């Protein structure tokens, strides 16, 4: 049986990664799996205000993780972005209006 491809683990530096035991991204062969990207700006230590700004920051966090891929990774290679928006201050998030804008209309990264 062939050996599995080597893995590259990519960290954002989040304390949660060490506490919970996950990586921002895992590279295995030709695949890159990115998870846990939120509207938190690791450079400033601040959470972006507003859902559109948080979605935009989350996408910058995805791009930062992809930039760490040793074999090269770009946002243009993303096959399936997923967004989750819950309830904010007692109201449902306006997913299509706010996060859709940050996602390029909701269909592309």
CA–CA distance, 106 with 26 (Å, rounded to integer): 24
Higher pLDDT: 41 or 91? It is 41
34-70 in b/e form (b: 16+ CB < 10 A) is: bebbbbbeeeeeeebeebbebbbbbbbbbbbbbebbe
> What CATH number has the domain spanning 7-102?
3.30.1330.40
| Model confidence at 83: pLDDT above 80 | no
Is-above-0.75 flag for pTM?
no
Higher pLDDT: 87 or 107? It is 87
CA–CA distance, 62 with 60 (Å, rounded to integer): 5
Domain borders along the chain are 7-102
| Model confidence at 49: pLDDT above 50 | yes
- Tokens at residue 74, please? 């770009």
Query: DSSP string covering 4-60, please?
Result: PPPEEEE----HHIIIII--SEEEETTEEEE----SEETTTTEEPSSHHHHHHHHHH
pLDDT value at residue 95: 47
Cα–Cα distances in Å, from 103 out to 62, 72, 77?
A: 12, 22, 15
Looking at the chain, how many residues does it have? 109
């Amino acid at each position: 049986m062939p050996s599995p491809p080597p893995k590259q683990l990519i960290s954002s530096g989040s304390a949660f990664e060490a506490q919970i035991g996950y990586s921002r991204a895992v590279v295995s062969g030709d695949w890159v799996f990115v998870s846990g990207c939120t509207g938190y700006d690791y450079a400033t230590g601040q959470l972006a205000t507003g859902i559109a700004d948080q979605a935009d920051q989350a996408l910058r966090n995805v791009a930062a993780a992809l930039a760490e891929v040793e074999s090269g990774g770009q946002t243009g290679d993303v096959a399936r972005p997923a967004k989750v928006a819950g309830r904010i201050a007692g109201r449902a998030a306006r997913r299509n209006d706010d996060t859709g804008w940050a996602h390029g209309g909701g269909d592309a990264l």
